[in-house]
Chain A
Amino acid sequence: MIRNVEVMVIGGGPAGLCAARAASEAGAHVLLLERDDVPGGQLVKQTHKFFGSERQYAGDRGIFIGQMLVKEVTEDPRIEVMTDATVLGMYEDGVVTVLKDNQHLKFRPKKTIVCTGAAEKFLTFPNNDLPGIYGAGAVQTLMNVGGVKPADRVVMVGAGNIGLIVSYQMLQAGVDVACVVEAAPNIGGFLVHAAKLRRAGVPIRTGWTVKEAYGNGKLEGVILCQLDEKWQQIPGTEVDCPCDTLCLAVGLTPLSELCWQAGCHMEFIRELSGHVPITDENLMTSVEGLYAAGDVSGIEEASSAMVEGRLAGYAVAVSLGYDVERAQKEVEAARAELVELRSGPMGGKIRAGLVKVAEKRGEAGC
């Protein structure tokens, strides 16, 4: 049996929740699929306050924004939320297969919004599979969702926002943060997060990397070393740093495998951190009726993911003929918000990436 669905939203993170809410608010019926047992995505573990403006809930903590969005979406009679449901495949004929409670389900959505987010990048160095080496996401889940102290003494790799924020949260959890190492010559994240760490006495070593990890059966320490301008390790700069945990926050990459499967025109865009579907101004991919919003179409902050979700949700509503005039105004308002969010110096990278997306639109037929 193939079940017909008006709007399918894949992923219940910030983009997916906002996409579902927008499409439904305009009048469409939505099926929201979430592979975890609760919706909310990364918001469920984000205990820090958000930036941006009021419309993106600035000043609120991620976890509360998530709870508010989840409440609205689950109470919405036009939205069905299906948890523990993983999309397995997207086929050329428009059928989407889903694994739910060990059952292989089939759907045929009229419109689909892919909001699958991102995956963490990994680093290659000797002994990088020792127990005690984690991605920052796992450490944050252990602490902020599971209530587990993840380490006694940690070395953090990466001084982007995730590395800085998770390091600070580990300090709050009573973990000794030995240092933050960052391969780039500068701190990538917001300086307000870096300043909190520095005030607590945590060194941030820019231009450094992990040369190797060591330990007998589990991590016992790492050898750090300095990098030159060409990112090559400088012999003789090695420092031994004992620790029981190494946390990798070396960036995210779009989790765009469903877009590949569906046959979307994909491009590797460095500034967007990986392979992304080329989308038009409504966030529709080169496949008719298939949209992509949030980190899957380029790594950014959760604030922009929420606005992109809203944009795609209203754009889908317009394409289905729901409340067209007002929904179109919402689409345009979301576009303007995105321009504003990306306008500062921190938005330079994403702006450069989006210029490349726009250049590829002709080729992609968007």
Chain B
Amino acid sequence: MVSPLCWGCLTLLRQAPRTILPSPTAVSQAAAFHTSAAIYARVPAPRGRDSAVGYRRSTSANIKKKRKVSERARPPPVGERKALRKRIVLSNPNALEVEGMPELSEETMVDSRLRGTVVGLPVPMLDQLRAVQAFKPKQGWSIFRRPGTVLRRETLEMGRLFENISGEGEDRGVVIKRIISGQRKSGKSVHLLQAMAMGFIKKWVVFTVPEAGELVSATNSYAPLSDENPHLYVQNEATAALLSRTAAANKAVLSKLRVSQHHPTLSAAKPGMTLEDLAKIGVQDPASAWTVFQALWLELTSTSAVPGLEKNFTPRPPILVTVDGLAHWMTHSKYRSAQFEPIHAHDLVFVRHFLSLLKPGQDKPTLPNGGALLYATSTTTNPPSVYSFDVALKQVAARHAGVDPSSPEFPQPEAYSKTDPRVFEALSSPKPTAAKEGMLEHQVLGGVTRDEARGFLEYFARSGLLRETINDELVGEKWTLAGGGVIGELERLGRRVRVAA
């Protein structure tokens, strides 16, 4: 006889309860409402702790209330997010190496045949550029094998100026003063970077303020300058950071120059010590940073030594000063005075010093050894919109063009508009008396030409980013879509990967 059990699965071993004749003990004696056996009914679970309803507790369905998650993901350590945000990657090993890419040098920075080509920044200089914070996080350096910048018309013109200032011709020691503005992504910061790179090539001393907004956003410590000047404020840590940047980036130049002036307010400055050591005093002791900076500035702008210290003196190199985000300095800062009134940005000695350079010097040029002041506006750092600054920039351009300030053509603010006289005062730089000093000018960076755009896009193609044939049609299309060759927009279009449908 065949066994009723399936030996393979043994499912029948767990037999269903018998329904034919329910056992009298399991079934209640009351008349059943359902016809199915009462034994099929689910046995009520014993009341445990969970199901126990407390006194005055809600018994309704609790659908929406979520249980509190006790375990939370641990947030990243302090500063890690910011470090990631500010991280600057200058190389990408996945990008192709561009064959025969020229390097920025004394020859290439003035070679107009190279206009429109992308030149690489020299590798030893990258540390200097990093030290002065020339690179910004979102400039797209991380998509190429090595950092490089395009030589556009303005770059070559600046290179020629730098060469003349450093050279032996009649333009030696000239000072150029420029405020650079332009629409979003038009390459203002990279223009400053190119200036810094040229300054390092020419062995100038480079001072930079990479984020002008940080000086007025009340994130640095500040204090009244002295008892005599209670309305001026000094920012020691920001000054120490500036000294640190300058000392690190210009080490080669500063270590060959020696103190050759008297510094009665700074006892630590010994005659004969190098200027690098002088700067490091301020880095190590931020309380004296502003005094050290003034001493360093005095040394660098001196043309001869004081009597008795002639043996320490060597001719000082030209100075390059770059400021990025000038509009932040044209309004009230976020700092407050002791009376809790807002402090104007021009009352911070740091800001005041760099703005005073825009004015012509009294009897000698502001930079007697020559140099350049390049102050750029910024659109990426959320600058304040200052109406007075806009008008003042127009006035700067008109004054440079030779328009008489009393003539009706001279741009004036709208009647009854709220203006800031300090902004007009700071930027009203008349024609300098010294021959070697240039007048303050306003340079507007626009788009690159089609030829320059072509060279730029060819660089993308040779780096393996743009997988299309570079012809006139493609260049014209990208040039138009980039709003007339705005270089940041060209970069955005060039790095876009086209996926076929």
Q: Do A and B bind each other?
A: no
Q: Chain B residues in contact with chain A, CB under 8 A?
A: none
| Chain A interfacial positions (CB closer than 8 Å to B) | none
